[in-house]
Structure 1
């Protein structure tokens, strides 16, 4: 399904038609979600409108309405998109069970696409004022918690308990926030290595991995 080239400019005298992009259904949806993330990252949730997302993506206002139907649906799907992107690029769950691989891509993730992270923090803060945002936030952050728990269980000789999982994830979350604000990736990398060193102390078999 494609969106025909349209314009948002009046066709009156002296105004030139501005063609819009043609996007296929799948690519168009991802492009709109990325545009929504950037809009919120720059201006906060109050700036998120169909028109702002359409402008950012270079498509028509109607295409945004067609894909999402409501602003709440757009917010929820953009949050899911942000979490998926973060999980795939941060190496939060590499699946190897090796301490050295845990969150190995976190610093680069923040440097490469800070808007994805800013978007999530914006929604977390906005949920203090708008409790209706909490259910989708809880559900989607549960994905982070689950991925962290699975990888810690692979790393540690005993299953990671929920409190330890929360502690480790909170440390990672805080490091991401600090890098966004202070832009000190080398400090982030050093702190991550300290976190891995602590995990090695909990891993009775850590020395056998050659991770020291």
Structure 2
């Protein structure tokens, strides 16, 4: 699925095609930002990280803003798919299983998102896309809480639960200690079980 072209230094670089290659470029962009911050995100840095030509990155994205936006969307999709935030089973024991493994396996994906959150304080024009794309996290959390609880989860509870998960990811990125993340998640699941039981009892009494 790849071919190559020689760079001026004579070192072959792989050319990646649209499907698999686009995801590879997005992953490379996330790693570039995780390593050097958003200021270091250039076409050339992404090309070097991915082992492709500079022109291929330009071809795929066209503008730096498009690269940032698509990388953020990609990292959120990756996180949703690998963290079991929304397993869809309605079982508390399945909620966010694998969160610590996700951080261990691909810290760059998570670091990119936090870098972009901090950058949005300096660049307010990033806030709308941050808000829109993070709504995907909130919506996934609320859908799973609605499956777990006997009543619909309100926005405040949804935000509280997601904030706990988000904080655990950040702490693991900085401090390591995946076992602490797992222990905290067990406590969170216990609290959700207690809440579900209390809400069910209230509904029965009412």
* TM-score between both structures, scaled by the size of structure 1: 0.91
Unpaired runs of at least 5, structure 1: 10-15, 208-212
Residue in structure 2 matched with residue 202 of structure 1 by the alignment: 195
Runs of 4+ residues deviating >4 angstroms: none
Structure-2 separation of matches of 1:112 and 1:206: 37
SS for the counterpart of 1:160 is coil
Q: Is the 8 A contact 2:149 2:196 kept in 1?
A: yes
Give the drift of 1:8. 3.2
**1:92-111 equivalent positions in 2, closer than 5 A:** 92-111=85-104
Query: 1:5 offset after TM fit, Å?
Result: 3.0
Structure 2: distance between partners of 1:149 and 1:108:
22
How far apart, CA to CA, are the structure 1 residues paired with 2:10 and 2:114?
Answer: 38
Corresponding residue to 2:70 among 70, 77, 81: 77
- Which of 109, 115, 120 pairs up with 1:122? 115
Q: Contact (CA 8 Å) 1:200, 1:206: kept in 2 or not?
A: no
Find the counterpart in structure 2 of residue 13 from structure 1. none
How far off is 1:126 after superposition? 0.2
| 1:165 equivalenced with 2:165 (yes/no) | no
TM-score, normalised with respect to structure 2: 0.93
Q: Take 1:123 and 1:66, find their aligned partners in 2: how far apart are those partners?
A: 23
Count, aligned residues? 200
Counterparts of 1:130 and 1:50, CA distance in 2:
20
How far did 1:205 drift? 8.7
Deviations 1:168-190 (A, max 9, x none): 00000000000011101111111
Cα displacement (A) at 1:135: 1.1
More helix by share: 2
> How far off is 1:32 after superposition?
0.5
More strand by percentage: 2
In structure 1, the partner of 2:6 is 7
Between the aligned partners of 1:24 and 1:205, the Cα distance in structure 2 is: 53
CA–CA separation in structure 1 for the residues paired with 2:130 and 2:47: 24
Write the deviation string for residues 98-155 of structure 1: whole angstroms up to 9, x where unpaired: 0000001111100110110000000000000001111111111000000000000000
Tell me, in whole angstroms, the C-alpha distance in 2 between the residues paired with 1:163 and 1:3: 48
Q: Cα offset for 1:206?
A: 10
Contact 1:157 1:205 in 2 (8 A): no
Shift of residue 20, structure 1, vs aligned partner: 1.5
